[in-house]
Amino acid sequence: MNRRSRRLKEALQTQLWPVPALAVTVAVGLGVYLPMMDTALSGSLPPSVSAWLFGGGPEAARSILEVIAGSLITVTSLTFSLTVVTLQLASSQFSPRLLRTFTADRFVHGTLALFLASFAYALTVLRTIRTAENDRGEFVPEISVTLAFGLAISSVMALVLFLAHLARELRVETMLSRVHAETNDTINAVFPESKDELHSIPEPRDSIKHVEAERSGFLTGLDERALVRAAHSADAVVRLDRPLGSSLIRGVPIATVWTQAAGSPDAEVLTELSGKINASIFIEDERTSAQDVAFGFRQLVDVASRALSPGINDPTTAIHALSHLSSLLCHLVGRNPGPRVLTDQRGERRVILQLPTLEDLLDLALRQPLLYGSEDPAVMARMIELVLEVSWHDRHGKHEPALSAQVAQLTQALATATYTAEERRHLEQLLSRFPTSH
Q: What is the mean pLDDT of residues 223-244?
A: 93
Q: Which of 354, 228, 336, 365 is nearest to 292 (CA)?
A: 354
Per residue in 371-398, pLDDT (tens digit) is 999 999 999 999 999 999 999 999 888 9
Torsion sign, CA atoms 294, 298, 304, 305: positive
Phi-psi bin for 148: left (phi > 0), alpha (psi -120 to 50), beta? alpha
pLDDT of 436: 63
Radius of gyration of the chain (CA): 29
Phi-psi bin for 288: left (phi > 0), alpha (psi -120 to 50), beta? beta
pLDDT of 438: 47
Q: Is the pLDDT of residue 82 over 90?
A: no
pLDDT of 47: 85
CA 120 to the chain's CA centroid:
30
Alpha helices in 281-337 (DSSP H): 293-307, 315-333
Per residue in 257-308, pLDDT (tens digit) is 998 766 666 788 888 999 999 999 999 998 988 899 999 999 999 999 999 9
